[in-house]
Each structure stands twice: as C-alpha cells, then as structure tokens.
Structure 1
C-alpha cells in the first residue's frame, strides 16, 4: 500500500485536493484506491496532450474556449480548469481577454449536468458552463458561441464522435482531441453490403468473418474520420493513450487546422466508401474538396 507521501507525489503541483475529493478520486482523508489512481493517471495523460494546445491558443489570442462532448462527470473539464484556467485567471487583469476563457461540458444526463454545475459553483470556477444537450443538438444550440477553439470527445459512443467532428467543423475549431468508441454503424453497413463487396473486391476478405467485420469496421471508421478531417484542412496525428490498458478503445486522434484542404484525401475517402460498399455513409463522412 502506498504512503501519503507517495500518493501526493502522483498528484500534480497546484492540483486542488478538495477538487479531487469532490470528484471521488481522493477519499475524504486523502487516500486513493487502485481505480482512482488509474483514473487520475488517465486524465493527467490526456492533460499532457491538451495543455500545449490550450497554451498555443492563449499565445495567439489571450483567451481560450473548449467544449468537452459527452462530459459525464467532467473529470477532464474540472482538472483542465484547475490546472490551467485557474492559475491563468488568477494572474489576469480584470479587463484581460483571458477572463472570457471558458470550458463547456456537454452531457445528456441531467443529474450529471446539475451535479457539475453545483460543483463548479461551490469551487468558484466561473469559467465553466454545463449544458444538457446531445452532441448533435449542440451543433445548432444558441447556448454556445459561433466559434470554439478546442473540441474534445472522449469515448463518445458510435456516431457521437462524428457529431463532435461536425460540431467542430461548424465551429471552426483550431484543434480536436478525439477518443472514438463503439464504432458500430460502419460494421452494421459492412454486414448489409457484404454479399456484393465479397464478389467484387478480394480485400473484402478482411471483413468476411463476423469478428473481422467488427474489428475492421472499427478500424476503417477512424481511417475515414482522419481522411475527412484532412479534406477539411486539418493536420491529423493518431497515437495511443497509455494507461488505458483496461480498454481496447485507446486510439487518440489529434487534429489541428492548417487551412490546406486536401482534395486527395477527399477522393481517397470516396474511393474507400465505394470499394467497401459504404456509399450510404457519404453524408456522415462529408468532405470539403480543395
């Protein structure tokens, strides 16, 4: 069992212990169990990817807005605010643009939205706002500004990741941080069109057997998403989340808007949809020709 000193060493400097207790990562006497330790490690790992993106935006315009889709209990949002927003706002002048910085948590479960609102108020985190919306609803919601700097969607199930991408494209997001999950839609389409695809495409052997259909469907979904993002002018990096060994859904997609829309990516995406029998998904994986 770890000592208090060892557990404190795992917590980042400046991290509010009171926040970690409210999030039930720490017990009231400051202890962590194995599950809490893993959860904190995961959020800190994500923070390492997101913090430099927030800093880039701050350097460019002195304020940052971030939308976290499928926020759940908002572990990520609260820790981002505690470690990055709170120190920044503490040193900002009263009329500084930094005061306009904001984190929006989007979540459909009303009890989690209310709990997060109460916690933000209790901790005096004025730059956090929580909205009871689906990812799809948020795209047209008047409660969100026209432009958002960073969009995150962590384990947004099935098509919710694609809805988050559509949201980010509409909001002209500079960065997207996506951890896709449960990509069932493409696998279902592959099963429906399997007969024709198997006859016409020898590569369809990759998804002929049911277990391969599921795995290939998950893989190709993220490939299509990356091509879609590139077609809209984003530079895409795909990596793995360490510390998420308990979940097979540990692929991390980071996209940065560069403005160079790729016609090649758009054409390649269309070709893949055609050769795999997925033409019905053209609307979901919409592209922007250069």
Structure 2
C-alpha cells in the first residue's frame, strides 16, 4: 500500500513540541528569517540556547515596558551593539507590534548587519524599527535619535561598550537600563600595570597576582563600579543571572530603574574603590566623578 506524499507545508510546519518552547504570539516566520529556526521549522541546540537567553531577558523587560507604556505613552528603546538584532526583532514581535506604538532603535557599527536588519524590518512590516550604523560611543549625539530614550539595552556589548551604553542612557535620561556585560579588559590592564606596587602595599593584591585572577578580578571590579555609578546617578540597581551558567559564562544581568534618589554613599564607595585599586586617575571621569550637569528624567 503506497503512502500519500506529505504536503510541503506540512513538512516545514513547526511541530507541537517546538511551538511549546515559543512565547505566545511569537512569529515562526521571524525566527526563520533570523535563522534561529531552520527552513524546516527546526530548532538546533545552539539556537535553542540563544532563544532561551532572549526569552529570559524579555521576562525581566516586559514589566518595565508595561510601565513605560502607561497612559498611552509611546516607549522608545535603544539596543546597543545590536549585531543581527535578535533582541530588537523579538521585542518588537512580542511587545511593540501588539502595542501599536513606540519605536526600537538598533545601534550597530558593522554596516552589513545594519543593512540586513533594515531589509528584514521592511520585509516583515516592522515599520517602527530603525537601524543606525554607529558605534555606541558616537550614538548619543546622532541626529537620527530622539532627545529622550526610555529604555537602553546592551546585550553582550564588549569591553567598554557597556560603559558607553550607560553614558548614553544618562545623557538620554533613560528611565530604565538592561545590561548584560561581555568581555572586559580595561580595568584588568590597569591592575596589571600597578601589580608590583600593589603587591608591596597590600596583601589584597594577591587577589589579582595571577593572570587569570587579574582578568576575573578586573571583570568583577568593572561591574561593581558600573552598579555604584548607576546608584549614584539616581537608579535602583538589581544584579542577577541572565540564564544558567551552562549556557553562557557572560551571564551577569544588570537592571537599573530610575528613581531620582541619588545615593551619596554609592558615590563615596565608588571613589574609595577607585582609590584603593589605583584607578581613580584613569577611570574617575568614566564613572561619573567629573560633573556632568545632566537634566534628570522622571522616575518609573
């Protein structure tokens, strides 16, 4: 007995197990366009891990976006180091599309990725997405961006790009920032330069005497300084894991919500840490110890 041929639409349709992994309302066609799903509607292990990270991040972001959307407000979001804009496209698909207002700006320095994102947004009809071919550091003064940005995201922005995203958020008076730092080398380089002097001065320098510990210590100090800088600038800061460590070693998630309550103790501790590690001259201005005179945003 011969079997009837399976229609092409059935061969490429995602199965029930896959659909159970997707968020309600998630566009399967978008995930195929982003190459998260194969043309046959399958999800490999690497794509599953990537999708899990974005979905988990969305769980933290959705309540913030809902607050930013109150009273008919059209929220604006800037995604720094956007890359292929996985995060921006999925945020638009899951939240902004149904909301019917608001705008997402993807900021990426690689021109070919910016052009591909523009083409995909046009194909999908995601007309409230814009993509700028800029570095994070140069984006704050870009004419294409509005004066105010409600939310700033930076997912795995390398080295000092996370600091540039924070500076951007402060200049744009962001009401929320969601940051997942990546590789960090600047503080580690400073620690290496003064290692001999620090070893003679304090036994705490043993914490970064070995090169591996220098790198890890530099990363830890950098994120602590970022959190203190945000608290000193009027943000309430939460630090947690993005996903399980088995999925990514760059797993620290920093969520900052503007309250307007600037913590003087945070600024004092920030300065003390910079002084203790011999970093004040090199990094003091980076972490807000120079006056900036920025207008304050309204709290969430």
Task: Give the structure-2-normalised TM-score.
Answer: 0.89
Kindly tell me: are residues 26 and 243 of structure 1, through their superposed partners in 2, closer, same or farther at Cα, counting changes over 3 Å?
farther
Superposed CA offset, 1:229-254 (max 9, x none): 00000000000011462421100000
Moved over 4 A (4+): none
Q: Structure 1 stretches of 5 or more lacking a match?
A: 90-97
Q: Residue 61 of structure 1: CA displacement?
A: 5.1
SS at match of 2:69: helix
Superposed CA offset, 1:143-180 (max 9, x none): 11111000000110000000000000000000000001
- Out of 85, 88, 93, the position equivalent to 1:82 is 93
Kindly tell me: are residues 164 and 119 of structure 1, through their superposed partners in 2, closer, same or farther at Cα, counting changes over 3 Å?
same
Q: Which residue of 2 aligns with 1:93?
A: none
Q: Which residue of 2 aligns with 1:227?
A: 228
Superposed CA offset, 1:113-141 (max 9, x none): 00000000000011100000000000111
Q: Residue 47 of structure 1: CA displacement?
A: 0.8
Q: What CA distance in whole angstroms lies between the structure 1 residues aligned with 2:214 and 2:121?
A: 43
Is the Cα–Cα contact under 8 Å of residues 149 and 173 in structure 2 kept in the other structure? yes
Superposed CA offset, 1:175-233 (max 9, x none): 00000111100000000111222222232221122211111111010000000000000
SS at match of 1:9: helix
Kindly tell me: are residues 194 and 141 of structure 1, through their superposed partners in 2, closer, same or farther at Cα, counting changes over 3 Å?
same
Q: What CA distance in whole angstroms lies between the structure 2 residues aligned with 1:288 and 1:277?
A: 17
Q: What CA distance in whole angstroms lies between the structure 1 residues aligned with 2:245 and 2:153?
A: 17
Q: What CA distance in whole angstroms lies between the structure 1 residues aligned with 2:290 and 2:175?
A: 16
Is the Cα–Cα contact under 8 Å of residues 232 and 288 in structure 1 kept in the other structure? no
SS at match of 2:152: strand
Q: Which residue of 1 aligns with 2:288?
A: 286
Is the Cα–Cα contact under 8 Å of residues 75 and 103 in structure 2 kept in the other structure? yes
Q: Which residue of 2 aligns with 1:111?
A: 112
Kindly tell me: are residues 81 and 168 of structure 1, through their superposed partners in 2, closer, same or farther at Cα, counting changes over 3 Å?
same
Q: Does 1:187 align with 2:198?
A: no
The number of aligned residues is 278
Q: What CA distance in whole angstroms lies between the structure 2 residues aligned with 1:36 and 1:229?
A: 33
Is the Cα–Cα contact under 8 Å of residues 261 and 288 in structure 1 kept in the other structure? no
Q: Structure 2 stretches of 5 or more lacking a match?
A: 1-13, 292-300
SS at match of 1:142: coil
Q: What CA distance in whole angstroms lies between the structure 2 residues aligned with 1:45 and 1:137?
A: 29
The structure with the larger Rg is 2
